[in-house]
Amino acid sequence: MGYLLAASVGLFALYFIVRWIGKTDIRTLASSLRWIGGGVALFLGVILSIGGRAGIGSMLAFGGVALLRQAWQQRHNSKPLGVGSDTVSTVRSRYIRMQLDHDTGEVWGEIVAGSMKGTDLDALDEDGTRHFIEEITGDADSVSLLETYLDANRAGWREYLGRGDGEAGQTGTSGASGLMDRAQALEILGLSEGATAQQIREAHRSLMKKVHPDAGGSTFLAARINEAKDFLLADRS
């Protein structure tokens, strides 16, 4: 009877684990497995060491600490693992800080306001994404940034969230806020103070190859990048 109960509980847990995996993108899944695996290994290592099996216990504990350290670094680094460029552009809205790697075109971001403040966009599952979309509906720039991130990282998201292209916040929106300052313009192009006109144009050209709408990129990001270039070049004259 005990074995039957344990098997039933195991199958029940397996069902929910499979459902969770099906809704979770690969990067979030890898991060979660590091936290879970590291915690389990550390716990077992301590138990085995206390029980007199210090050799294998120490190995497990050190392995667990290493996994937890990797998970912590991935969560707290502004740049995710695997991104290969030192030149990164940052675009901000009321709710989102999103970054774009100039070499790879990879985008990632963090929620900076609202009930989910501090959450990486990578960590949003389907339900979390729905909740966040509802929360930011009134802020067109944030909706456009989120859609840019989802288009780059979650293939088919419009279908499983039931949002067509016509509902996109960036559709028909220039994205130009008219409120840009020099610091924001430099941040968007991934430049530092003192950038030359040639560096401004080169950064703009490099970014537009990644985000131009004709290449399947983002109308909103393209508008912000154009605005940043125009602001900085005008500021030099």
pLDDT digits (tens, 9 = 90+) for 14-38: 555 555 545 544 455 556 667 777 7
Q: Cβ(142)–Cβ(130) under 8 Å?
A: no
How much is the pLDDT for 111? 94
Q: Cβ(190)–Cβ(89) under 8 Å?
A: yes
Range from 80-84, 193-197, 228-232 that averages highest in pLDDT: 228-232
Query: Tokens for 206?
Result: 């490099």
Least confident of 28-32, 59-63, 121-125: 28-32
Residue pLDDT, tens place only, 137-163: 999 999 999 988 888 888 777 776 665
CA-nearest of 89, 80, 74, 83 to 32 is 74
Least confident of 29-43, 52-66, 71-85: 71-85
CA angle 235, 109, 166 (to 5 degrees): 85
How much is the pLDDT for 237? 61
Place of tokens 């292209």: 165
pLDDT band at 53; cut points 50, 70, 90? confident
Place of tokens 């050799």: 55
**3-class secondary-structure state, position 156:** coil
Q: Please give the domain boundaries of the chain with CATH numbers for all domains.
A: 2-76 (no CATH), 88-236 (1.10.287.110)
H or E element in which residue 91 lies = strand 88-92
Range from 68-77, 79-88, 106-115 that averages highest in pLDDT: 106-115
The CA distance from 203 to 121, in Å, is 25
Place of tokens 């806020």: 177
Per-residue pLDDT at 113 exceeds 90:
yes
pLDDT band at 172; cut points 50, 70, 90? very low
CA distances from 114 to 109, 145, 179 (A): 15, 15, 22
The CA distance from 42 to 66, in Å, is 10
Q: What average pLDDT does the segment 179-208 reach?
A: 88
Mean pLDDT of the chain: 75
H or E element in which residue 127 lies = helix 126-136
